[in-house]
């Protein structure tokens, strides 16, 4: 795809994103192959919207998130944040932009510096980007951020190990909010938490989005019901590609791609009555390696509907309805 003028109206636009990781071998670490973790992903998110990104491990969803906040430098493609293409910018030009885009990781234990008090963890972006002048303003802003995420402001002097998993995740959210971001990538933010704490964190993320105008989320998760609950639109990934993307309700009620159907049917619901009427689609085999993806449609070896042509032709993502795109030859 050629360079177009920066999109208007999108908080984030991703065009044909590719991220290949080299596989090296031998004494000289020569490159022998590529792991095509992300292989041509395109989507756009409007301001204030939440795009859910679902898929199983190894599908590339986390890599997409990390490319967007430029923890990785993508192999190719455009990442347009607020009208500016950041996909190829050098690190020093990315740094000031980190204020406006941030990431919350899955593991609230590993993502917070154990030697810093949580107040200084949250205050770090304020100092780094010189967002406040003077000590009082600094302290006030931290207190404000603590309040926003529902943490007691008296906890600022505590260290991460003194907090529960849920509290730690609130600290990570407060830190992400400190720079007044337009985009937060949430990478499995609740997966490590117990269900009762999960609900608190999900409610917090939703409330923040209602309060802060234009706050946009890319919400990456393997939990389909969490994604349905929080997302305006949902994209399903399989082996480095988006296979289906649609408005949330549409995707869950009328999934079109055979993989989406199987994935949705696999996720059990806590409702015995509903469960007794559902018919899970058991896929055969396992996800192939991204090192050597199958020819044609990547899903064809496991697809219950596969036709001979699926082995040869690689389907592209195309519109099948208002705001609904599918990559399947049979639809």
Partner 1 sequence: MPGEDAGRAMEPLLRVENLKVEFHTERGTVAAVNDVSYDIYDGEIVGLVGESGSGKTVSQLAVMQLVRTPPGLITGGRVLFEGADLLQYPSKSREMRSVRGRKIAMVFQEPMTSLNPALTVGLQLREMLELHLGMNREASRERSVELLQMVGIPDAEKRVKDYPHQFSGGMRQRVMVAMAISCNPKIVIADEATTALDATTQLQLLELMRDLVKRLGVSLVLVTHNLGVVARYAHRVYVMYAGRIVEHGTVAQVLSCPRHPYTRGLIQCVPRPGLGDRPLISIDGMPPDLIELGSACTFLPRCPYREPTCEQEVLPKLEVVEPGHEVACHLVSKGSDPCR
> Which residues lie near partner 1 (CB under 8 A)?
56-57, 164, 194-200, 202-203, 206, 222-226, 228-230, 252, 262-263, 265-275, 278, 280, 282-283, 286-287
Measured from the CB atom, the residue of 36 and 302 that comes closer to partner 1 is 302
Task: State in angstroms the smallest separation of the CB of 60 from partner 1.
Answer: 14
Nearest approach, Cβ of 127 to partner 1 (angstroms)? 32
Cα separation of 189 and 209, whole Å?
15
In whole angstroms, how close is the CB of 262 to partner 1 at the nearest point? Answer: 6
Residue 216 Cβ vs partner 1, minimum distance, rounded to whole Å: 18
**Closest CB to partner 1 among residues 15, 61:** 61
CB closer to partner 1, 120 vs 265: 265
Nearer to partner 1 (CB atom), residue 105 or residue 259: 259
The residue among 28 and 282 lying less far from partner 1, judged by its C-beta, is 282
- Residue closer to partner 1 (CB basis): 111 or 198: 198
Least distance to partner 1, CB of residue 226, Å: 5
User: How near is the Cβ of 215 to partner 1 at its closest, in Å?
Assistant: 17
Residue found under tokens 């997966």 = 191
249 vs 323, beta carbon nearer partner 1 = 249
Question: Rounded to the nearest whole angstrom, what is the least distance from the CB of residue 164 to partner 1 in the complex?
Answer: 6
């Amino acid at each position: 795809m050629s360079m177009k003028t920066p999109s208007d109206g999108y908080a984030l636009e991703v065009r044909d994103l590719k991220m290949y990781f080299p596989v090296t071998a031998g004494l000289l670490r020569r490159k022998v192959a590529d792991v095509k973790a992300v292989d041509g992903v395109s989507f756009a998110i409007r301001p204030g919207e939440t795009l859910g990104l679902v898929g199983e491990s190894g599908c590339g969803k986390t890599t997409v998130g990390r490319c967007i906040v430029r923890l990785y430098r993508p192999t190719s493609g455009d990442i347009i944040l607020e009208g500016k293409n950041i996909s190829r910018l050098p690190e020093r030009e990315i740094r000031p932009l980190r204020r406006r885009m941030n990431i919350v990781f899955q593991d609230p234990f590993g993502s917070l510096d154990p030697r810093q008090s949580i107040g200084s963890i949250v205050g770090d972006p304020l100092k780094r980007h010189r967002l406040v002048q003077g000590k009082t303003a600094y302290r006030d802003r931290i207190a404000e951020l603590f309040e926003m995420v529902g943490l007691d402001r008296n906890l600022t002097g505590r260290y991460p190990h003194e907090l529960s998993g849920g509290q730690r995740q609130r600290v990570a959210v407060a830190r992400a909010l400190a720079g007044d971001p337009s985009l937060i990538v949430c990478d499995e933010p609740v997966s490590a938490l117990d269900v009762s704490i999960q609900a608190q964190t999900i409610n917090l993320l939703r409330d923040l989005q209602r309060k802060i105008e234009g706050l946009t989320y890319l919400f990456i998760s393997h939990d389909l019901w969490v994604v349905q609950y929080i997302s305006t639109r949902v994209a399903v990934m399989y082996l480095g590609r988006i296979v289906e993307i649609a408005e949330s309700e549409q995707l869950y009620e009328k999934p079109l791609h055979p993989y989406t159907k199987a994935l949705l049917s696999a996720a059990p619901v806590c409702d015995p009555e509903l469960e007794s009427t559902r018919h899970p689609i058991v896929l055969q085999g396992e996800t192939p390696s991204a090192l050597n993806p199958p020819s044609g449609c990547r899903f064809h070896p496991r697809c219950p509907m596969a036709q001979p042509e699926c082995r040869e032709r690689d389907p592209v993502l195309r519109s099948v309805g208002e705001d609904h795109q599918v990559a399947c030859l049979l639809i």
